[in-house]
Amino acid sequence: MTRLRVWKIHLDRPSGPGWWRSLSDTERERARRLGSVRERHRFTVAHAALRAILGEVCGVRAARLAFGAEDGGRPYLALPQGRAAPDFNLSHSEEWALVAVAPPGSRVGVDVERIREDLDCLAMAGSMYQPEEVDRLRAADPAGCRTGYFRLWTAKEAYVKTVGVGLAGLRNVLVHEESTAHGTVLSSSSPPGAALPVRWLDVAPGYAAAVVTAAGAS
């Protein structure tokens, strides 16, 4: 694999044959703990699709894939016989999921969010975003403010998932809107991080999504 790829998965599709069996015992237990049949179904589809994608990329049966976790909880793929594994990330929100896979040696984070109408976006931005980002949202009309809030959120979450600092680091991420050779870029003040490019994705009406890559993805 030589380049970044992103797959879009509709989670309300019927389950494929063998999808439940392809999950690990841990994944099946997580699915069982979810509160509704719809949530369990969407979780199963998302994680079975992730396994199918990674299995195809790596040439390994989906059910035989093994995963580990970094100290901060970020998952990684553990391939047998010392093979270099691609980096990956999964995000899902209501009926849509995204799977991003980047070449070995790269890092990737992806996020998709349903644009909610019941959220006080300016109040949330005031506690979670950088002052200049809040100013940009205040200057927009109501629809632009709401869309802009979720657009920023997906970029920030994709960034922290890429660098592996978790959601606690989201407040420190600043989205620079000015044009550069790489488009829009993000950086973090704590812990200090290199500026990384972000690309927003068109998933479906009423959703925002973004992908961030580092160290060699093309």
Which superfamily does CATH assign the domain made up of 5-103 to?
A: 4'-phosphopantetheinyl transferase domain (3.90.470.20)
The answer to whether 208 and 112 have CB atoms below 8 angstroms apart is yes
In the chain, domain spans? 5-103, 111-214
Domain 111-214 of CATH type 3.90.470.20: yes
pLDDT at residue number 192: 66
The residue-averaged pLDDT of 160-187 equals: 80
3-class SS at 78? strand
Is-above-0.85 flag for pTM? yes
Angle at 174 between CA 169 and CA 178, to 5 degrees: 160
Report the C-alpha gap between 77 and 95 in whole angstroms: 25
3-class SS at 94? coil
Q: Each residue of 15-49: pLDDT tens digit? A: 888 999 999 999 999 999 999 999 999 999 999 99
